[in-house]
Amino acid sequence: MLILIIDFILRIRFTINLKVVMFKNKVFRGDIMKKLYTIGETAELLGVTTQTLRYYDKIGLLSPICADKKTGYRYYSYTQFHYIDRIKYLQTFGMSLVDIEDIIHSGSVDKLLPYLREKKSQSERELENLKKRINDIEWYIDYFTYLDKDKNSDYLYKVQIDERYIIKARCYYKEPLPNMEIRLAGVKSRKEYENLSFRRQYGYKINVDAMMKQEFYPMEYFVYLREKPDIDEKLYDTLPAGEYLCFRTQALKENWNPDVLTDYFKNKKKPKLTLALEFEDNLVEYLNAWYEIQILL
């Protein structure tokens, strides 16, 4: 019923607009409407190109009502105008001309409804994907601006962090960083991960004892997943939610002050999980990149 009402309103609006345009173009002769309109007149009245109308004819979607055998001129009737208008508005829903041909030639609203419902579902999926893209863009904006201020390796602060999900690769003591990157790239390319969405922030699980001695010793190299994956839990790692003690440093240059950490943990339990998260401040090199060290309390 709603489709019929919408179609009726569109027909009324179309007819009013058409009469105004035809009056301006002197298509009327008194109160008598022309029976036939050239392809040029039809294109001008309906806001399409003559090439479009010829293409409709070529694919069998809508052909002129007749053609002059001598001149080859094509003519359309007023009764065909609403078909052209309907083709235009169905195209705005993203329908293909093949589907529109199927609908138009059936002449049935029952044929139209399944297409509309499918386009509604498709649009909802596209909207959901668009929302995810916006969230990703916002995440990257925050990533590239997170450490813009207060870069001070002696300053300790606490942050409450939600659960996170990662894909990881093992690291070996004193191995070159490119080896870790190549190994992680190999892990990411596995078939089990082909449908996962990654966020380009890399990080390390680092050795706590080495950190207290001002030595950067990564034990695992990882990359974030956008969301909790629907795969076997053995195939990914979960970083626990909780309160993390943090400081900022150029980790690869090992330029933090270990005395600050020693004083803080003097009468406390040694932490079980320490992360070093890379925050790029340029798109060229990474050796001088700043990191946020996150120590789970």
The Cα diameter of the chain in Å comes to 103
Residues 124-167 have pLDDT tens digits of: 999 999 999 999 999 999 998 887 655 666 789 999 999 999 99
How many distinct helices (H) and strands (E) make up the chain?
9, 11
In the chain, the percentage of residues whose pLDDT exceeds 90 is 74
How would you list the strands of the sheet with 36-38, edge to edge? Answer: 36-38, 74-77, 66-67
CA dihedral 99→102→104→106, nearest 10 degrees, is -150
Query: Using one digit for the tens of pLDDT, what is the confidence trace for 176-191?
Result: 999 999 999 999 999 9
Model confidence over 207-247: pLDDT tens digits?
Answer: 999 999 999 999 999 999 999 999 999 999 999 999 999 99
Same domain, yes or no: 85 and 176: no
Q: What is the mean pLDDT of residues 271-296?
A: 91
pTM assigned to the model? 0.72
Q: Tell me: do 84 and 156 sit in the same domain.
A: no
Domain boundaries, position 74: 2-119
Q: Is the pLDDT of residue 66 over 70?
A: yes
Domain for residue 131, yes or no?
no
Find the CATH number of the domain harbouring 194: 3.20.80.10
Burial of 271 (0-12, 13-18, 19+ CB in 10 A): middle
